[in-house]
Structure formats: C-alpha cells, structure tokens
Amino acid sequence: MPATRSLTASQRDWLRVRSYLAEHRHGLALEAAGDYPADRRIAGTPLLAAPGWQPAEPVPLPEVGLELTPAQAQPPAAGPPPAGPAALPVPDGAALDGAAAALLPERPDGTRYLRYSDVLRDLAAPAVFENRVTYRLTEAALISGLTPGDERVSGLTPGASRLAFTRGRYFDGIDTGEAAAHEYAATRLGGRPAGLRALIADPCDLRRRPANLAISTLTLRLDRATGRASFLLHWRDPAKVGHAGGLYQVIPVGVFQPSGEAGWNERRDFSLWRSMIREFDEELRGRLEDYGSEAGPVDYDSWPFARHMATALDRGQIRVWCLGLGTDPLTYATDLLTVAVIDSSVFDELFSLSPRRNDEGSVLAAREFAAHVIDHIATGEPVQAAGAAVLRLAWRHRETLIG
C-alpha cells in the first residue's frame, strides 16, 4: 500500500487491529483455546478436535479414504452429534457474510468492502494472495480401530477413516477464519464482538463454516544405523503468507488443492500423497508452484522427483502416517496432521538439512527428534497450533513411527 494513500478512519482502525493480530498471533491463539473444553484440545496443545478426529494409533496414509462430491450436488455435511453450541441452527453463507460485515471498513468513496479478503488484498496483501480452487472439507473421521469415543460418531466402524470434500476457494477460509481472528483481536483492544465467532460457535463442526484443509507434515529424517531422527521447522514470513505469518511450523505444509484451475486437475490431483509431493518439492527443493497444468494434467508417473518418492514409498524407505485432524482456535484453520519418516539415504539424496530461505519464509536448522526439544518448541516458541500438535503426537507414537 503506498505510504501517501489517503485512508478512512475505519481503514486505519482495521490496519491497527490487523497489526495487533500479526504481532500477537501466537498469544491470541493460546488465549482463544481457553474458550473451549480441555478435552477438545489435542495432546495438550491449543489445536481443537471433534469426536472421531483423534485416532488412538497412527493411521497409514493409504488407509484414509477420500470422497469428492461436485459442489452443485453436495448434500448437507454430516458430523458428530451436536453438543452445546453446535445444536444452534446451522448458518448459511449469507449469515456468515452478515456477521463479518461489521469487521469491514469503509472506503474513501463511502462504500464498504464486501469481504475480509477484499480488505486484506487492498490494504495488507502478502506477496502471494490468490483465490485458488481448493478441496473444501465437509466430513471427517479418522479411526484406527482403537480410538476412544468412536461410539459417539454414528455410522463409523473401527478402521473406517474417511475425508469427504466438495469444491471450494482459498478466500472462503480467509473470509471466515481470518475475519474471526480479526474479531478476536479487536475485542482484546476494546472493540465489541461482531458476532461472527458466536455464530460459528463450534469451529470443529464442518457444517457451520467453509473449511479448507491444510496438510501439515512433520518430516523425520531417520538414521536407521543409530535409530536417531531429526526434523526441520519453517518460519512463515508474514510479508509472504496470508495465514499464520510470524509463526513456526513443521514442513512441508500446504492447502489441499488441485495444481491448477483446469477441470482435469480436480480429479487427477485429488490425492493426499500427490499434494504432499508437490509441497515437498516447493518448500524443501525450491520448485515454483506453476506445474503447467492449465495446458495438461501433471504427469506424476514421468516426473522424476515424484517417481523417486513413489519408489521409496513402495520400498518402505518412506513411511507416511496420519495422526489426526484439528482446528486452530483463533483462525479456524483446519489441518490434517501427518508424519513422513524418510530414511537418511533417501532424504540426503533428495533434500538438505541446511537452513535457507524459501518463497514463504525460512527453513530453520535441523533439530533432534527428542522429548526435551519438542517440549521447548511446544511451550517456549511461537509455533502454530497444528505444528505443536503433530510434534506432540509424533513423540507419543514414536515406537510406531521410528521404532
């Protein structure tokens, strides 16, 4: 935004709150988690979960079934039986927009912004800010066969893990989640609640808001000879990213979405593993996000890096697990928590442990996968809720993952 640009009083106030949110994002998330029951929090972290989102044991990634329903044919999303605020009427898009309207400033011409993403793009856009097509999460159950409380989630059987999706857009999450975070920050500065968070009530109820899914992967480099493992963290530069700027996170992480807008990508890229492969290449190897898939679908079978990863997966040199699903209490960002354990010989051939910059921030120096390291990160560093949760869960299940 040009320094000489004339702003309205409400635009200046919006920027003041947005700046406070950016500066205090971690502390605000910890505070927001206190608004929910302790038993909803994953592994003692701020990340929230619904019944059926926390398997008792890691679920191998291929055992997580995926369903994709066209947007126009999408039935009302099912979910766990409502309890407490989830028993309220389910809000529609118009109701959510109406509740968010009080958070949107007035332009110099007297008109108001229609959506939070419009304000963000106009006044404080990060380097990359595109309303790309996504897979919107509508139903979720992650069941290992030993998951406590499975009986509360009707229609599920032990071992029946599934995620259901329809078509969405990246700004759907910005217009509700970042707006809800803005509302929370504004109230801490003395503002009145706009009513958006109260309307959503339970952010883990996927009927109550649009939910884009991010796949948050803890990558463990395992030395089989010594049994020791290490991992990388990512610092997310607030000038480059639209979500969770200024926080640490595991790596790679990416929104579950097709590689491009062309229709053939929607089904071709509808794979957790293929999405993870793209993020590995982008965040750990520096590849640009343009896969040329507007001209033709990505050929994963002939792509050397994807083929190398698939071969290592088939040989057991890469093992990938799903540990759970959770929602950030501040921004309502929803993350699938995964772990990729990669043998050191494969890791060293494809990746590097050296610290470096990338398009979304900085890859930090490798850290030992050890209890005291994880405790320090989870309790003493500004780490995203999903990152803290997947680290805690990975240590809890270390015998399965690297034993």
Interacting residues of 316 by C-beta distance below 8 A, sequence separation 6+: none
Q: Backbone dihedral region of 61: left (phi > 0), alpha (psi from -120 to 50 degrees) or beta?
A: alpha
Cβ pair 308, 277 in contact under 8 A = no
Residue with tokens 């935004």: 1
Interacting residues of 380 by C-beta distance below 8 A, sequence separation 6+: none
pLDDT one digit per residue (tens) for the chain, 403 residues: 545 689 999 999 999 999 999 999 999 999 999 999 999 999 999 999 999 999 999 999 999 999 999 875 444 444 444 444 445 789 999 999 999 999 999 999 999 999 999 999 999 998 889 999 999 999 999 988 654 444 444 444 445 899 999 999 999 999 999 999 999 999 999 999 999 999 999 999 999 999 999 999 999 999 999 999 999 999 988 888 767 778 899 999 999 999 999 999 999 999 999 999 999 999 999 999 899 999 999 999 999 999 999 999 999 999 999 999 999 999 999 999 999 999 999 999 999 999 998 888 899 999 999 999 999 999 999 999 999 999 999 999 999 999 8
Task: Find, among 279, 276, 298, 297, the residue nearest to 287 by Cα.
Answer: 279
Residue with tokens 């302790």: 38
Beta carbons within 10 angstroms of residue 47's beta carbon: 32
Cβ pair 358, 239 in contact under 8 A = no
The pLDDT of residue 241: 78
Q: Rounded to whole angstroms, how far apart are CA atoms 380 and 373? A: 10
Half-sphere exposure of 292 (CA within 13 A, CB side): 6
Q: Rounded to whole angstroms, how far apart are CA atoms 115 and 121? A: 10
- Single-letter residue type at 403: G
Output 146-151 pairs: Cβ under 8 A, ≥24 positions apart.
146/55, 146/56, 146/57, 147/52, 147/54, 147/55, 147/56, 148/56, 149/51, 149/52, 150/52
Cβ pair 211, 153 in contact under 8 A = no
The pLDDT of residue 81: 46
Q: Rounded to whole angstroms, how far apart are CA atoms 241 and 283? A: 13
Residue with tokens 């993350």: 335
> Does residue 231 sit in helix, strand or coil?
strand
Three-class SS of 361-402 = EEECCCEECCHHHHHHHHHHCCECHHHHHHHHHHHHCHHHHH
Cβ pair 237, 359 in contact under 8 A = no
The pLDDT of residue 358: 86
Q: Rounded to whole angstroms, how far apart are CA atoms 71 and 43? A: 34
The pLDDT of residue 314: 98
pTM of the full structure: 0.92
Cβ pair 208, 201 in contact under 8 A = yes
The pLDDT of residue 75: 46
- State how beta strands 334-343 and 213-223 pair: parallel
Q: Rounded to whole angstroms, how far apart are CA atoms 236 and 331? A: 15
